Amino acid sequence: MTTSPAEPDPVRRSLRETAYGALKARIIGLDLHPGQRLVERDIAAELGVSRVPLREALHQLESEGLVVLVPRRGALVAPFTRADVEHLFEVRESVEVLAFRLAALKRSDADLERMAAAVDAARDALARRDDAATAAANAGFHAAVVQACGNPLLRSMLAPLDARVRWLFHLTKQRDTREQCEEHAAMLAAIRAQDADAVAELAHRHVTSGREPSLALADSWASSPIDPVEATRTRNRGRQTA
């Protein structure tokens, strides 16, 4: 008789989730920059956790493409290059458009409320000129659409992309966010009307129209290719540069 690996005790699981949530928020919000060295001892002290739950959190973040782990050397925030942006848009132009189409057909009243709340939050943040909050709300709208698609397999396929999409929205928050907000409002109206063809067309145009502006912005912040082994060779805590 085989036994499954024991789950961590509740306290350790809570500490892991605390570390995971805190680090993920800091990476997505750009408090920790692409290519930045993550020193376990320092981060554990900052978060008030031991290294075991911290390492578990880092492995979880690695699975989402946000962290690179180098055996026996440490970790760094995953570099985000121009090529990464291109690859992300190639995927989004296919599977994310499908999610919008299915959301129009399968959405519930609760789904509509979540999407509307995200659109309202983005507009409020835009009025306050809070770029970070606008980016977070716009990313939240896309996440609400995925939640509404009613297809567990598609949701599981898109789940690893969620963090990268949120990261992208923050990295490109200098884009015309007013236009993004209005496009989201138009897509919400089509979803509310259950017009799958219209929202699919709007979604495809929305994603593809963001490609070139995002790539142009990428030139100002994207990392050069980084050798993770070399980047973790010293205790340099700053952003790695080419």
What domains does the chain contain, in order, with CATH numbers?
Answer: 10-78 (1.10.10.10), 82-221 (1.20.120.530)
pTM: 0.72
pLDDT band at 99 (very low <50, low <70, confident <90, very high): very high
- Predicted pLDDT of residue 148: 97
- Give yes or no for residue 241 having a pLDDT over 50: no
Torsion 22-169-102-192 (CA) sign: positive
pLDDT, position 22: 93
Kindly tell me the burial class for residue 8, based on how many C-beta atoms sit within 10 Å of its own C-beta (0-12, 13-18, 19 or more).
Answer: middle
Is the model's pLDDT at 235 over the cut of 60?
Answer: no
Contact partners, residue 160, CB within 8 Å, separation at least 6: 63, 64, 65
> pLDDT by residue (tens digit) across 104-145?
999 999 999 999 999 999 999 999 999 888 888 988 999 999
pLDDT digits (tens, 9 = 90+) for 52-90: 899 999 999 998 888 999 887 889 998 878 888 888 889
